[in-house]
Structure 1
Amino acid sequence: MQTFHEKTNITLKKYYSEPQFIDYTTQPSSQKIYPHFYRRFNLDEYETLSFIKNFAQATFTKQYGKEHVNLRTTPSAGGLYPCEIYIQIRKVKGLLSGVYHYEPLQNALTLIHELSNDGLEVYFEEFTTAQQFIFLISCVPFRTVWKYEDRSIRYLLLDSGHQIGAVNTACNLSGIHPTLSTNFDKEKLNALFRFQNKEYFVAALSIDLGQEANIKPLREALPFVPACDYYLPHPFADDFFTHYNKEAPFSLALPSLCSLINQQVIDTRRSCRAFKNESLSFNDFKTICTELFELSTSLGIEIFYINNNIEELPLGLYKNVSCLKEGDFRQKAQELALYQALGAKSAATLFFTTSKKSAYAKSTILSAYLAHSIYLKCSALGLQCSGVGAYFDEECQTFLQTSNNILYLICIGK
């Protein structure tokens, strides 16, 4: 997997030599829709399932000329939303036990397979009991490949991590605490869902029903439904997901990262496009980052940050709470972030990194999961946040004086 990361580095030569033109009239659809004859359930009519709307529903609509863009509860690179969500549900009053597809813009569940004595539990290594909920997250590579080509593999993992963060937050808000797992037969489920190498399962979150059950494999494969209105093959992305399926799986009881969370915080979370170049109080910075630094260390993720404008803290480069070198590095932060002003005018730019020996996909996904908590805390505190997936990789490593992979940049401020 390390090879894939290195092949997608942005260098000065690539930045200046590769074409930047994108024909936005060719953008593929960003939501999978099953045919009209499938049975649908409006989530507004099921109070016990109301938390699902916070997975990915549209919370704001922006207009660009004649085009309308629906912004969802999760950030997404380029607003392309490559993630889809499938949910197995058991024993919810008034709802058939089955496998559903979530349609975020309609806030509806589409029944795609009614359960009998079968279920998805069979394809997970650790399940010995029936699960009330299994939330499966998939990626549709072409939605992101269309714009970002090979580097899209990074954004697909980052978007998946944000999606996991959104699902976990929505569950926590309802007093539910799921377990994250990649320890399931992805290849088998990809085949059963008839993804045909156009869509791939990435991770799952689950809630145990706590009941023993003699569950059988799915009795039939699901019909093929395209995830985009058109599709072009991209061997590099397909090869990446083939290798992803072979990376060592993991399971993790996800902590709740945001005690400030409420419905308003979720509804008002946005990715900002510009900062006001104003200072950030040290107390707000501690609220955002103290727990983050502690948890990231336990997950094998090292966070550096450039302090551009945090009150009561010397300007400079830091690693967690330790200052590595003092100085005004605002211009450097802008250069590293592909000359984007976000890097310089934010109060702080955080760099998520991990050792080259770490499980690459896991570290990238969990970096975005942690970053999602930053978004939510900024929203709760009335601050701004923006994730940056495009940066000069080697220049970042040189400035940070690390051989770690650079996985993600997060800018925070006002």
Structure 2
Amino acid sequence: MQQFQQKTDITIKNSFLQTQFIDWRTQPKSFKTYPKFFRRYHLDEFEELKFIKDFGKITDKKVYGNEEVVLRVTPSAGGLYPCEIYIQIRGIKNLLSGVYHYEPLNDSLTLIHELSNDGLEYYFETDSKKFIFLISNVYFRTSWKYENRAIRYLLLDTGHQLGAICSALKKEAIPFDFSFNFNKKRLNEAFGFEEQEFFQGAILVDNGKDTKYQNLRERLVTVSSTDYFIKNPFLEEFSKLLENLIFDEIKPLHLLDDMDKKCIQRSIDKRRSIRAFEKKPITKEEFDFLTKDIFERSKSLGIEVFFINNNVKNLELGVYKNVNLISKGDFKGLSTRLAFNQKLGESSCFTLIFTSKKESNLFQDYIISGFLAHIINLRATSLDIGCSGIGAFFDDECQRNLKTTNNILYLQAVGR
């Protein structure tokens, strides 16, 4: 795993060697759509399923010249949205038990496989579930722009998507479990992905039944996730490693328990990645709310979180490791420099830096970092405070200035 980190580092030296030109006219499509003859169900027809919209729906549209860009409830590196969501559903009145693909463009579920005595539970080696939410990555959507470094953004985007699903389930008081150690290889084959798409993680919701099921009785129809596709051997090697990688068991992280249903819904609907801050301060009380349980929970999961305090009242300026001040002073300039010279770094009230030790499960650490960042994003939105994830940063400069050999995973700027 460490080779994937080293080969995708951004350093001051290699940043001058990057000459890639982006022709936005060639961007692959960011929505997977099954043919028209597949049966579809609009989510508004099922009160029990409306919550599904809250982890994938379109919340805004912007126009740049002749191009319309749609924004969703989850952030995504470069706005490329590589995650697709598949849902197995059992026991909903007037809905066939089956495997569905969620289509954000029209908030509908497309039936891609009707269940009989088979089911996705077979690949998880578990008994009957009411819902199985599966997250896949369409890697070319991201590698088109970011080339090999796309592996980092795929993992982070998956973490954000998991955070979005968990927040929607939390809002409805639906208990769930994470799952990463299912048979990804066989499931990728069963879904007909043809190595253009691959599963990353899943969330399971129990239905209280101990029924066992067989593997899917037929291979699903292969449908391209993009309008064109360019193979990337480095990304394919990454996906093959994921198929066999054993993840640590992760228990549900109860990080939104102090927010009620209306507050979570408001945050889901209003969440937006900010592009600039007004450099207004936040209070220490607001900082504590935004980061509630984050330092403690991240540490228990093998993540070490640093942060640079630029503008939090009643909190000493400087660099912190977890909650401990390690370097006192004004580091606004450093915040910008580390963040690939992006001004968001210095204008933020604080900038979080997610890191992990080199001997840990690197891929899992990226996903967890994206998940934790999503929770902070929702908390910030509830206070009308802005957030922006920063995936482009100088790995070597972060390590040197933080005096750590940890892998640098993600930066998140938070402020007004």
Alignment deviations for residues 101-156 of structure 1 (CA, whole Å, 9 cap, x no partner): 0001210000000000100101113x1x2000000000000000000000000000
Name which of structure 1's ranges 100-109 and 208-217 shifts more when overlaid on structure 2.
208-217
Instruction: State the 1:13 CA deviation.
Output: 2.0
Tell whether the 8 Å contact from 1:389 to 1:408 is kept in structure 2 after alignment.
yes
Q: Which residue of 2 aligns with 1:271?
A: 273
Query: Structure 1 unaligned runs (5+)?
Result: none
For residue 252 of structure 1, give the secondary structure of its aligned residue in structure 2.
Answer: coil
Alignment deviations for residues 330-381 of structure 1 (CA, whole Å, 9 cap, x no partner): 0011001000000000010100000001101111100110000110001001
In 2, the alpha carbon distance for the partners of 1:19 and 1:320 equals 37
For residue 210 of structure 1, give the secondary structure of its aligned residue in structure 2.
Answer: coil
In 1, the alpha carbon distance for the partners of 2:292 and 2:330 equals 23
Q: One-letter code of the match for 1:237?
A: L
For residue 94 of structure 1, give the secondary structure of its aligned residue in structure 2.
Answer: coil
TM-score for both structures, normalised by structure 2: 0.98
Q: Which residue of 1 aligns with 2:329?
A: 327
Q: Which residue of 1 aligns with 2:177?
A: 179
Tell whether the 8 Å contact from 1:247 to 1:359 is kept in structure 2 after alignment.
no
Task: State how 1:272-311 maps to structure 2 within 5 Å.
Answer: 272-311=274-313
In 2, the alpha carbon distance for the partners of 1:336 and 1:152 equals 19
Q: One-letter code of the match for 2:357?
A: S
In 1, the alpha carbon distance for the partners of 2:305 and 2:285 equals 19
Q: Which residue of 2 aligns with 1:122?
A: 122
Q: Which residue of 1 aligns with 2:353?
A: 351
Task: State how 1:11-410 maps to structure 2 within 5 Å.
Answer: 11-125=11-125, 127=126, 129-258=127-256, 259-260=258-259, 261-410=263-412
For residue 13 of structure 1, give the secondary structure of its aligned residue in structure 2.
Answer: helix
TM-score for both structures, normalised by structure 1: 0.98
In 1, the alpha carbon distance for the partners of 2:228 and 2:142 equals 13
Tell whether the 8 Å contact from 1:193 to 1:222 is kept in structure 2 after alignment.
yes
In 2, the alpha carbon distance for the partners of 1:177 and 1:253 equals 11
Alignment deviations for residues 306-328 of structure 1 (CA, whole Å, 9 cap, x no partner): 00111001110001111001011
For residue 205 of structure 1, give the secondary structure of its aligned residue in structure 2.
Answer: strand
Alpha carbon RMSD of aligned pairs, Å?
0.9
For residue 409 of structure 1, give the secondary structure of its aligned residue in structure 2.
Answer: strand
Instruction: State the 1:243 CA deviation.
Output: 1.1
Q: One-letter code of the match for 2:283?
A: S
Tell whether the 8 Å contact from 2:40 to 2:109 is kept in structure 1 after alignment.
yes
Query: Structure 2 unaligned runs (5+)?
Result: none
Alignment deviations for residues 176-197 of structure 1 (CA, whole Å, 9 cap, x no partner): 1211111110000000001000
Tell whether the 8 Å contact from 1:181 to 1:250 is kept in structure 2 after alignment.
no
Tell whether the 8 Å contact from 2:167 to 2:264 is kept in structure 1 after alignment.
no
Tell whether the 8 Å contact from 1:169 to 1:256 is kept in structure 2 after alignment.
no
Runs of 4+ in 1 over 4 A off after TM superposition: none
Instruction: State the 1:20 CA deviation.
Output: 4.1
In 2, the alpha carbon distance for the partners of 1:177 and 1:403 equals 37
Tell whether the 8 Å contact from 1:179 to 1:251 is kept in structure 2 after alignment.
no
Tell whether the 8 Å contact from 2:255 to 2:292 is kept in structure 1 after alignment.
no
In 2, the alpha carbon distance for the partners of 1:253 and 1:143 equals 30
Tell whether the 8 Å contact from 1:168 to 1:177 is kept in structure 2 after alignment.
no
Q: One-letter code of the match for 2:271?
A: R
Tell whether the 8 Å contact from 1:307 to 1:349 is kept in structure 2 after alignment.
yes
Instruction: State the 1:256 CA deviation.
Output: 3.1
Indicate the percent of aligned positions where both proteins have the same amino acid: 51
In 2, the alpha carbon distance for the partners of 1:359 and 1:245 equals 14
Name which of structure 1's ranges 349-358 and 207-216 shifts more when overlaid on structure 2.
207-216
Tell whether the 8 Å contact from 2:121 to 2:212 is kept in structure 1 after alignment.
no
* Change beyond 3 A, Cα 1:273–1:20: farther
Q: One-letter code of the match for 1:269?
A: R
In 2, the alpha carbon distance for the partners of 1:212 and 1:401 equals 51
